[in-house]
Amino acid sequence: MKLSCLSIVFLFLFCIECLVADDSLETSQLRSLSPQQLLEICEKQSISTNDFFNVNRYNQWSLNDYRRVLGNLYLVMYQKDIKIDKTFDEWAHGGNLWSRHTTPNIPVKDNQNHQLFNNLTFLENMMNDLFFNPNVPMSKENVYRNYDGVNSDGELKLPDFAQTGMPVINLMDFPDLDGSTSTKPLRIALAATMFNLTCDWKYGTYASSSMRFGDLHHFPRVMQRTHSGKDDQRRRKWAAVLMSENGFLPNNQTVNSWITLTDCQKHHYNCLVINAVSPELVHQYNPQVTIIRPSEYESKIIGYDALVAVANVGNPCQNLTIEDINAIYRRKIKNWDKLTDGQMKGNITPIWRNISSGTGILMAEMIFGKELSRPKDIDGHEETIMTMTGLIQRMRDPSVIGFSFYFYEHRIMPRPYVKTLAINGIQPSYKTIADGSYPLRAPIVAAIHKDTPANAPARLLYDFLSTPNGQQVVQAAGYVPLGQ
């Protein structure tokens, strides 16, 4: 009898413990936890389990919910000196950590924060699926659906070719459309318009179907689907060419695309460059590249993008003035304390893109008074990043600040751990770029060689970009057209 009573007591205590544990889990709404509580849970438990999923209902979170939770987690990890970006690089062992459909399977003994990083990866992938993946039915917050350039199916609203007044251009006569990476979506949209092809936003230019961190750049995708009619075979052929990795859309980037234009007589002057930086500015900041000759080009502004300051989503700083940025990059302001009202301590790590990049050129031109003031870290070393991919990935560190193009950060390489900062109190957005209130608006430039014949396809496309239909292509690709 005593044994039976003792068993009952133990059973009762066990049930109470289970109820307490369940109650604790039921009240673990991640959105309402303090950063310290969030870290404690993420260090010990997998938040992707059914229990946590049912309690938190991640698919009902707003974009701000995800940003707040991710920001709190990143900030408290930074405050505890958990080296987020460096640790992830170590996990990857020099390779691509963010494979599209897997989470790194690293033994716990290799890193004491294994569970923590798994949870961080889970949250970021959930945020991507909900707000950045064009294949998932989205809320209005989806970055690929929240502007007027796409229809309800996510397809770009390109003008019908028959209504543009453009002549038919044969496959062998189509010009090279070169330029900077940040303008590649516009070049894809322009080519799709010329051949009446359907174009929509997908992660990866070609076949990838969902976003994971391994998909580094995201461009509009030309669909093989075509309408029936006499030109159906021709359009299918063009769709195949446009979807080919070795298609006719070279991406020689900011400096080299202007070199291509100088040298385009080899291609019978059939080259059109669409660049984020004018040839005059590229030549000014790269005088050693003597083959760039702006006097030989015919150029014009066809739309607008913007230079934006980027930081980690956990960084409490929301706004910087132009004077603040100058002081940071000239190392007159070295700590985040005053810029975050004491919410974050620690040294600021300013990052500079190389001066042959469009970002580096516009930073010098628009912020630093035409001076090439390259920042140094606390040890006196320059923090110069050669690729925009590398700069965006460095934003995992809340101490880092850098610059990108709005379109690049927002559509080509969106990352849930990156946010943009307001400049002089104005947050960059399609609206503030369009109305000119954002102070770092930057023109998009199209150019051809001056010797390009009047009937050359490159000149026909160049002239088309200024027409109402051409401006519709600019808007459909996500850029700000001239009329706004």
- Consecutive 10-residue runs of the chain (484 residues): their mean pLDDT? 48 42 54 91 89 86 89 93 57 33 36 79 84 65 78 86 82 85 92 85 44 58 63 65 60 88 79 94 90 94 97 96 93 93 92 86 90 62 74 90 93 90 96 96 96 92 94 94 86
Distance CA 220, CA 184 (A): 9
**Which domains, from first to last, does the chain contain?**
2-131 (no CATH), 138-484 (3.40.190.10)
Q: What pLDDT score was predicted for residue 25?
A: 42
Contact 156, 148 (CB under 8 A): no
Residues whose CB is less than 8 angstroms from the CB of residue 61 and which lie 6 or more positions away in sequence, other chains included = 31, 69, 126, 130
For residue 338, what are the contacts with CB-CB under 8 A and spacing of at least 6?
none
Instruction: Please give the Cα distance from 424 to 446 (Å, whole number).
Output: 29
- Amino acid letter for position 64: N
pLDDT at 61: 87
Listed residue (373, 390, 391) closest to 382, CA to CA: 373
- Taking a C-beta distance cutoff of 8 angstroms, is the pair 445, 186 a contact? no
Q: How many residues appear in the chain?
A: 484
Composition of the chain by helix, strand, coil, percent to 5: 45, 15, 45
Burial degree of 254 (CB within 10 A; 0-12, 13-18, 19+): buried
Instruction: Quote the CA–CA distance of 438 and 17 in Å, as a whole number.
Output: 56
d(CA 282, CA 258): 9
Whole-prediction pTM: 0.83
State residue 69's pLDDT score: 94
The span from the CA of 240 to the CA of 54, in Å, is 44
Collapse the DSSP code of 136 into the 3-class scheme (helix H, G, I; strand E, B; otherwise coil) and give the result.
coil
Distance CA 229, CA 214 (A): 39
Which CA distances in Å does 128 have to 133, 211, 369? 6, 7, 38
At what angle are helices 184-194 and 232-243 packed, to 10 degrees?
A: 160
Q: Which residues of 77-107 are buried (b: 16+ CB within 10 A; e: fewer)?
A: bbbeebebbebbeebeeeeebbebeebbebe
**pLDDT value of position 267:** 65
Confidence (pLDDT) at 380:
60
**Gap between the Cα atoms of 464 and 467, Å rounded:** 5
Q: Which residues contact 76 (CB under 8 A, 6 or more apart)?
A: 35, 36, 38, 39
